[in-house]
Amino acid sequence: MDPRYPRPLKIHLVSSTDSPEFTDFTQSLTRSRIIAFDAEWKPIRTHQSSFPTVSLIQLACQLISDSGESDDSVVFLLDLSSIPLPSIWELLRDAFVSPDILKLGFRFKQDLKYLSSTFSSQGCEQGFDKVEPFMDITSIYQHLQHSQPGRKTSKDIKSLATICKEVLGISLSKELQCSDWSCRPLTEEQKTYAAIDAQCLLEIFNVFQAKIIKEGCLIHSPTESTVNLGLKEVLEKLDVCNKIVRMKFHEALDIVRATTSFIYPNIATEEGMALRTRPRNTLPMDELLVRIVNKYGEEILLNDSDKRARTSKRKSKRRSSVGLICKEKQGQSFEDWQGPPPWDLTLGGDGHPKFLCDVMVEGLAKHLRCVGINAAIPYSKKPEPRVKNLLKNEQLLEIIETFQLKICEDQLMSRCTKCNGRFIQKPLTTEEAVEAAKGFQRIPNCLFDKNLEFWQCMDCNQLYWEGTQYHNAVQKFIDVCKLNE
């Protein structure tokens, strides 16, 4: 039992399809009404023209046990670095779209994009394009807040750690989040961390479901709506509601018992594999869950553009070795640049502009970084003038025009101006940023409650946020680089 988690967790690492854990996994899929998903991938430091490769999927399955109880759960960690992906693609896709399984996730669309691209690149071209029925923990959290009368609701997008703390009273450790998830074997801490991240989603949902049962608003027929009832009246009705819930639950149990008797023997003899060819091998949801799904359920759809990795403004050009340009030969006076630039493909370059700016044009280096161009400043003691213009903005335009650099708006603010580094993949929330900034950077109080996105440099850890200054700077570079023209 993990000291940070109040309940013992059942964790199974699945590393091959030829293992007892895999059999256990396929059986559990057929016995799950609710599955919480999460995924881990190796944090990327360099630009990649594709999404990061997911190396682990966590599935926390809420199981219906043989006796019909539904409070048992188990977490499977699917090791995508060792399982041949085509052997589990269908299984996962079926689970993603099964009407019998409610899927839970925390801001899961991004995970799904990465999963889809990981599977596409390894023999499952279709990837994944749909998760339904689905509920996002962020929406569940908002419903939980709204249902507390008089409570001020926040528009902030809270981190999962905060939601867990508030709803479950437990503290999630985030220190392993950026660990290398592609290294094997996974440490015990990594396994526990990964499992908790999925398990806590189930538990948050259970709190939500308990609340719905308590408030009874989904139990009555539409004509008996409790929408206009005060808290007191709701409480008075509670006893009645509980009876109705119990009754419905027993009806559901009867269905479950009736179904299990002929489904389980098949699972046992065919070890779960043949089940994939059957149209419906899962157990139907109970009535309460059906009502929750009908009222609160969402879907995640990936279209073709979602599946393509864009050169986003946060991760664009590959950071490769720095080329030297703007260089005049000793003894020659400065002349306009002629011919293709040194990074040109025909000259054996990699097509990515990079600049080495000496300390005389340090300001220009920062401006170049602001528009997403790789610009290094070497520790040179002998400054020589290399651009004609004296002002940074004009120097920047001079360089852009001389080398015919194509700057697009996506590139703006995509590099750390302090060190030329690249940013993390996912923005941080204010709270995460405050935590990340501890000890070296202060996040001004005035930024709280503004629902800003924070970006951290992967090299020097400097934090940036999209406040007024950011927007002014973007506008300025749009003007300087003449992107509007």
Q: Which is nearer to Zn ion, 103 or 422 (CB)?
A: 422
- Stretch binding Zn ion (CB under 5 A), from 59-67, 211-219, 269-277, 418-426: 418-426
- Stretch binding Zn ion (CB under 5 A), from 55-63, 320-328, 340-348, 413-421: 413-421
Binding to Zn ion by residue 301, rule CB under 5 A? no
Residue 244 identity (one-letter amino acid): I
DSSP conformation letters of 39-52: EEEPPP-S--SSPP
Q: Which residues contact 395 (CB under 8 A, 6 or more apart)?
A: 361, 363, 364, 367, 387, 389
**Distance in Å, CB of 51 to Zn ion, minimum:** 23
Binding to Zn ion by residue 462, rule CB under 5 A? yes
Binding to Zn ion by residue 268, rule CB under 5 A? no
Binding to Zn ion by residue 418, rule CB under 5 A? yes
Give the pair of three-digit tokens for residue 156.
């902030």
Binding to Zn ion by residue 56, rule CB under 5 A? no
Q: Which is nearer to Zn ion, 244 or 419 (CB)?
A: 419
**Distance in Å, CB of 82 to Zn ion, minimum:** 35
**Distance in Å, CB of 422 to Zn ion, minimum:** 8
**Nearest partner of 80 among 71, 68, 70, 92, judged by Cα:** 92
The radius of gyration computed from the CA coordinates of the chain, to the nearest angstrom, equals 27
**Distance in Å, CB of 29 to Zn ion, minimum:** 44
Task: Find the length of the chain.
Answer: 485
Please select the residue that binds Zn ion; options are 419, 447, 473, 474, rule is CB under 5 A.
419
- Stretch binding Zn ion (CB under 5 A), from 103-111, 282-290, 405-413, 455-463: 455-463
**Nearest partner of 115 among 106, 104, 126, 99, judged by Cα:** 126
Strand partners, 104: 36, 135
Query: Strand 72-79 to strand 11-14: parallel, antiparallel, or no bridges (unpaired)?
Result: parallel
Rounded CA-CA distance 410/423 in Å is: 14
Binding to Zn ion by residue 314, rule CB under 5 A? no
Binding to Zn ion by residue 457, rule CB under 5 A? yes
Q: Binding residues for Zn ion, how many (CB under 5 A)? A: 8
Q: Three-state SS string across 332-384, please? A: CCCCCCCCCCCCCHHHCCCCCCEEECCHHHHHHHHHHHHCCCEEECCCCCCCC
Q: Which is nearer to Zn ion, 288 or 416 (CB)?
A: 416
Residue 323 identity (one-letter amino acid): G
Q: Which is nearer to Zn ion, 403 or 455 (CB)?
A: 455
Binding to Zn ion by residue 421, rule CB under 5 A? yes
Binding to Zn ion by residue 324, rule CB under 5 A? no
**Nearest partner of 196 among 38, 304, 43, judged by Cα:** 38
**Distance in Å, CB of 319 to Zn ion, minimum:** 12
- Stretch binding Zn ion (CB under 5 A), from 193-201, 317-325, 420-428, 448-456: 420-428
For residue 240, give the H/E element and its range: helix 231-270
- Stretch binding Zn ion (CB under 5 A), from 81-89, 110-118, 461-469, 477-485: 461-469
Rounded CA-CA distance 446/155 in Å is: 16
Q: Which residues contact 234 (CB under 8 A, 6 or more apart)?
A: 215, 216, 226
Sheet arrangement for strand 32-41: 11-14, 72-79, 54-63, 32-41, 102-105, 130-136, 298-301
- Stretch binding Zn ion (CB under 5 A), from 40-48, 325-333, 431-439, 452-460: 452-460
Q: Which x/- pattern over 367-406 shows residues binding Zn ion (rule: CB under 5 A)?
A: ----------------------------------------
Please select the residue that binds Zn ion; options are 183, 231, 240, 460, rule is CB under 5 A.
460
- Stretch binding Zn ion (CB under 5 A), from 195-203, 267-275, 402-410, 458-466: 458-466
Binding to Zn ion by residue 416, rule CB under 5 A? yes
- Which residues of this protein are in contact with Zn ion, per CB under 5 A? 416, 418-419, 421, 457, 459-460, 462
